[in-house]
Amino acid sequence: MEIQPQGKAMSLNHKLSRRTVFKGAGGLAAASIIGAGAAWSGTTPAHAEGLEIVSQETDGRMQTYEFVTPSVKKPENPSFLARKHNPSATRNLRVNVLLPDGYDSGKHYPVLYQFHGGGGQYTEFDGYNIREMTAGRDLIVVMPDAGLGWHCNPVSSNVGPRNWETFHIEELIPWVDATFRTFPEQAGRAVSGFSMGGFGALKYTAKYSDKFASVSAHSGPANLRTTSKDILNGIPISDVIVRWANFTSATFELLGGTVYGIPWRQDLITADNPLENIESYRDKRIFLVAGTDRLKPLWEDITKLAEKSLLNVLNEDTVLNTQREFAEKLDSAGIKYERFEESGGHLVRPERLQQDVDGVVAHLRKAE
């Protein structure tokens, strides 16, 4: 483990320099004729079970797709909080696909699936300069919407289907492999994410170990059942991440529904929990990053509270605990990993994200 100076949060201010838009089936047909969009990738976008493409946009190496699917429908009655804090609650699903330089050379490429944090959307990692970080690297990066549903098929929903796990695993991955020149195998895929997306990356690796050779969590929680004594200044709270997932999904995604149910579905928690599925990570590349801002100094010195974002510190204090617990289990099982603790709170650290991208390229099957 390395202790490094605090990284800086990246700004979400990347602006599209030029855009080609194709709407509906006619637009996709036009794309294949005039050489933009899918024709640039060497193939027409494939149909995957359940997915229907309703629009496509191209901006240099970046392709953006809009989907409709029965698995995740646009809510008819999203709450005010969902409309304000959950972009995917007000529109169809979108996915960014970043192709490598020289994609039209005919080679096949490994794929990195990159998941945004809670309250983010498919454009998040474009704002983290993912184009620059992958320039000259033989890698496809797929960045889908994930809402605020914690990468789950929820136990209950009051806004219609919001089955993110089905969309990501059963629909998106097969579509990517059918549409682009990938390696449709474990050695050709990595999964990574920030915050909620980091949990999603760890969860999907736990449940679908045969699909991914590398997993990364940037400030992502690694133990749903962790207990915290710092949130209420000494009073223990069990199953902190389960509580947070249920609360945020109910408030910003499901209009009172929950991902794990009330009372909680223990079988679902066990299946999703990275800490309870340690053997799923054996022989994989594992990359973990967390900040070291802690709650206890804030409670002891109220003047420090004004210097920090309480929610930022609250998130990272808990994340750090879970990653340490996860690392202990990996150590006990003799499973190797990379882990970094750095000063600061709940944010994406650019130097670690670049290190992660380069590590993914080095670990996965090489383009050929």
Which are the catalytic amino acids?
195, 301, 346
What is the DSSP pairing of strand 214-218 with strand 228-232? unpaired
113 and 140 in contact (C-beta within 8 Å)? Answer: no
**Helix (H) / strand (E) containing 66:** strand 62-68
Widest distance between CA atoms in the chain = 66
Count of beta carbons in the 10 Å neighbourhood of residue 187: 14
- Fill in the DSSP letter of residue 50: T
37 φ/ψ angles, rounded to the nearest 5 degrees: 55, -120
- For every residue of 217-276, DSSP letters joined together read EES----TT--EEEEETTEEESSHHHHHHHHHHHHHTSTT--SSTTTT-HHHHHHH-GGG
